[in-house]
Amino acid sequence: MLRSALALLSSLQIGVRLKESFERSLRQAVVIGVAVVILLAALCFGLLAAYNALISLYQFSAVEAACIIAAALTLLGLLVLATLPLFERKTRRRPASAMVNAPAEGLGFIDQSVGKAMQQVGPVTLLVIAFAAGLLASRK
């Protein structure tokens, strides 16, 4: 009775923790979304200001100013893409885990046990036993 009550209490606590974690993540996502919208608006105003500055201060035509801004943005995008491999996580090569080596170890144990059986019984007797076992297994 006490065990089931403690299990129920534990599951309720886990549910409360999951709910709090979800709510916290949702709040963070909303804040990040609002920040991204504000940054995009600032970027748009900055691009418009640069466009107007190229037209009014440097006497470029509208098409020339648009091409200069497009070229600058393209160059910036290519530079960001070029630096992408620098930020990749480098995984360290770990030694092979025990699960990877388990089949090889299992085959090694089988080989050792077959070797011991051959020494004790003899190869011909072991071959006859293996043949009989194969016949019995194939009948089903």
- Establish if 75 belongs to a structural domain: yes
pLDDT by residue, tens only, the chain of 140 residues: 666 666 666 667 777 777 888 899 999 999 999 999 999 999 999 999 999 999 999 999 999 999 999 999 999 999 989 998 888 877 666 655 556 666 667 667 677 776 776 677 777 776 677 777 776 777 75
- Establish if 65 belongs to a structural domain: yes
- Establish if 19 belongs to a structural domain: yes
Q: pTM above 0.85?
A: no
**How many distinct structural domains can be found in the chain?**
1
* Domain encompassing residue 47: 2-86
Per-residue burial over 63-89, b if 16 or more Cβ lie within 10 Å, else e, is eebeeeeeeeeeeeeeeeeeeeeeeee
- Establish if 27 belongs to a structural domain: yes
- Establish if 131 belongs to a structural domain: no
- Establish if 38 belongs to a structural domain: yes
Q: What angle do CA 5, 9, 15 make, to 5 degrees?
A: 145
